[in-house]
Amino acid sequence: MLGQRKMEELETKATQWLAKSQLLPERQDSFITTSGVPVERLYTPLDIADMDYLREVGFPGEYPYTRGVHYTGYRGKLWTMRMFAGFGTAEETNARYKYLLEHGETGLSVAFDFPTLNGFDTDAPEARGEFGKCGVAVSSVADMEILFRDIPIDEVTTSMTINGPAAVIWAMYLANAQKRGIPLEKLGGTIQNDILKEYMAQNAFIFPPQPSLRLIVDTFEFGMKQVPRWNTISISGYHIREAGATAVQELAFTLANGLTYVQAGIDRGLKVDDFAPRLSFFFNCHNDFFEEIAKFRAARRIWAREMKERHNAAERSQWLRFHTQTAGCSLTAQQPENNIVRTTIQALAAVLGGTQSLHTNSLDEALALPSEKAVTIALRTQQIIAHESGAANTIDPLGGSYFVEYLTNQTEKAVYEYFAKIEALGGVIPALEGGFFHREIADSAYRYQQEIDSKRRIIVGVNEYIRDEPLTIPLLEMDREGEKRQLERLSRLRRERDNELVSIKLEALRQAARGKENLMPYLIEAVSAYATLGEVCGVLRQVFGEYRLPAMV
C-alpha cells in the first residue's frame, strides 16, 4: 500500500495526465468488456487503492487462491492437454484418441452424440438422423469396450461430457475397467454430471431436478468411497456462455450451481470434506483477453471464501480446480483460418488465468467435426504456449496488474450481485423454474448480437474485413456405413446377451430407484450384464418421470 502522501501525489499526477489525454481524439469503438464493464484509458494504483493485497490476492497455493491453488503453478506440472473428441462409431473415435495421444495429448475427453446425451440407444426412434453427428454413440458397455480398446485407462485420465445419463455412462466406464481387471481406485477422470446448467442452457436433460440431484449425490458418495481419484462432477459454465451469457453471468450461475450441489451433498448426510475435494469446474474462454483472466482469478477467490465461510470447509475443499475450453461460439465459418488466432488468444488467457486442463477448438469446427490436420494445429497451439511462449515460467504473471486486479474485483462484485438476486428468488431451482436464468442469458445474447450488427463490436471477417472467397480447407467426412455397423452390433448384443439376467438387474434397479439407496451399484450391475443405455434410462424415466421446461420460458 502506498503512503498517504504518495497517494496524493499520484492522484494529482493522474488528474493532470487525464486532462492532457482528453484533449486527444480516440477511436469510436465501444471500450467495454463483454459483460458491459467500461474500460478506462489507464489504470493506476488508485483503482485498487482500497484493496487489501495480502487478504484478497495473496500468494499461490494460499487462501484465497486468487493467484492459483498450487504453490508451484506450471513450474511443477503443465496443464493437462485434453482435446474434446468423439464422432460416429466407437471404432472411429478410438482411432482419433490414439492419434491424439501419439501427438502429445495428455488426457482424453469424450464427446457423445445427441441420442447418448439424452439417454437413447442408437436404434431408438428418437435417435433417427442424429447418429454420431456431434460425438460418439455409446449404447452399451460393448461400445465402451471398443471406445477405450488398447488405451491404458489406469494411466490416462478421461473426461466425459455427459449430464442427464452421467451416472449410467460412468457405470459403463467403471464396468469396462472391472472387466479389464483394473481396480476402480486406479481410475482418474471426470464426469460432467452438471444437470442444473442443462436446465439453464443446453437442454440435454432427462429427469426432473430432485431425482437428478439424487443421482448426482449418489455419484459423490460412491466416488469418494470406491473411486477416490475421480472428479464426480464438472460444474460447467461453458454451455451457459455458449448460450449467450456474459463472463459475469457464466461465473455467477456456475458458482451458484456449485453451491447448490454442495448443499445437496450435505443434506444427504455427507461430510463436506469427504466429497468437495473432488468437485471440479469447467469454464469457457472467450475473446476478451483480460476479462477472461480476471474471471478465472475471481472464481477461485469467491469459491474459497464461500466454502470456508458457509461450510467451514478444509483447505483442499476450498480449491477451485477447472478445465477450460476455448469458445466455440466465437468461431466463424467465414475465413475459418482466423479461428486459429482466436483460439490462440483464448488459450493464452486460460493459461495466464491458471487453468488445470485445456481444450483448444479447431479452425473448422464452425463447419464440421474437426479434421486430423485441424485438431493437430489446435493441439500444437497448446504445446507452443507451454514450451515456447514463456507464459508457464512464472505463476500468475499478470497478478498485480492494476487493470487485471481492478477487473478481478469488478467481476467478483458483479457475481455477488447475482448471488443476491438468486437468493431473493429462493435459490437456484426456484429461480430456474421461474425462468430467471433463461431470461438473463437471452437478453445478454440479444445485446451481444446487436453490438455485432451495429458494428459496435467488430468480428473480423464477419462484419468487417469481409472477403468473398471460396472455402479452401478440407473437411472431415463421416463413414456413411458407421450407423449401419452400430445398429448391427446393438441388434447382435440383444440376441446374444443373457436377457433373463438383464431383466433381473433392471428390475432390481427399478425397486432401488423407488427407495432411497445409492443407485450406482445397481447401475454397474445392470450395464455389466449389457443392459443398454436406453433400457436403463427407460427404467429411471418410469420411476422419476421426465422434465419439461416451464411453458413461460
Q: How far is CA 320 from the centre of its chain?
A: 13
Q: What is the reported pLDDT for 520?
A: 98
Single out the residue of 89, 83, 77 nearest to residue 102, CA to CA: 83
- Strands of 107-111's sheet in order across: 230-231, 189-191, 158-161, 107-111, 80-85, 357-359, 322-326, 279-285, 233-236
Q: What is the reported pLDDT for 553?
A: 45
Is residue 7 domain-resident? no
Q: Is 357 helix (H, G, I), strand (E, B) or coil?
A: strand
Residue 391, domain CATH: 3.20.20.240
Is residue 140 domain-resident? yes
Q: Is 279 helix (H, G, I), strand (E, B) or coil?
A: strand
Cis peptide before 115 (omega within 30 of 0): no
**Could you give phi then psi for residue 525, rounded to 5 degrees?**
-65, -40
Residues 172 and 540: beta-carbon distance below 8 Å: no
Q: What is the reported pLDDT for 2?
A: 66
Place of cell 446393438: 490
Q: Is 446 helix (H, G, I), strand (E, B) or coil?
A: helix
Tell me the helices (H) and strands (E) count for the chain, helix number first.
Answer: 22, 9
Residues 159 and 85: beta-carbon distance below 8 Å: no
Is residue 161 domain-resident? yes
Contacts for 80 with CB less than 8 Å, ≥ 6 apart: 106, 107, 157, 323, 356, 357, 358
Domain that residue 168 falls in: 60-453
Query: Of all residues in the chain, what percent are helix, strand and coil, respectively (each to 5)?
Result: 55, 10, 40
- pTM over the 0.85 mark: yes
Measured CA to CA, the distance from residue 76 to residue 69 in angstroms comes to: 12
**Could you give phi then psi for residue 83, rounded to 5 degrees?**
-85, 125
Is residue 117 domain-resident? yes
Residues 94 and 371: beta-carbon distance below 8 Å: no
Contacts for 298 with CB less than 8 Å, ≥ 6 apart: 66, 251, 408, 409, 411, 412, 415
Amino acid residing at 198 = E
Is residue 522 domain-resident? no
Q: What is the reported pLDDT for 361?
A: 97
Is residue 410 domain-resident? yes
Single out the residue of 62, 207, 126 nearest to residue 519, CA to CA: 207
Is residue 138 domain-resident? yes
Measured CA to CA, the distance from residue 443 to residue 106 in angstroms comes to: 38
Q: What is the DSSP string of 377-389?
A: HHHHHHHHHHHTS
Is residue 524 domain-resident? no
Residues 169 and 191: beta-carbon distance below 8 Å: yes
Q: What is the reported pLDDT for 28?
A: 67
- The domain total for the chain is 1
Q: What is the pLDDT along the chain (553 residues), one digit of tens a residue?
A: 567 888 889 889 989 998 888 888 887 677 899 998 999 999 999 999 999 988 999 999 999 999 999 999 999 999 999 999 999 999 999 999 999 999 999 999 999 999 999 999 999 999 999 999 889 999 999 999 999 999 999 999 999 999 999 999 999 999 999 999 999 999 999 999 999 999 999 889 999 999 999 999 999 999 999 999 999 999 999 999 999 999 999 999 999 999 999 999 999 999 999 999 999 999 999 999 999 999 999 999 999 999 999 999 999 999 999 999 999 999 999 999 999 999 999 999 999 999 999 999 999 999 998 999 999 999 999 999 999 999 999 999 999 999 999 999 999 999 999 999 999 999 999 999 999 999 999 999 999 999 999 999 999 999 999 998 887 788 887 777 889 999 999 999 999 999 999 999 999 999 999 999 999 999 999 999 999 999 999 999 999 999 988 765 4
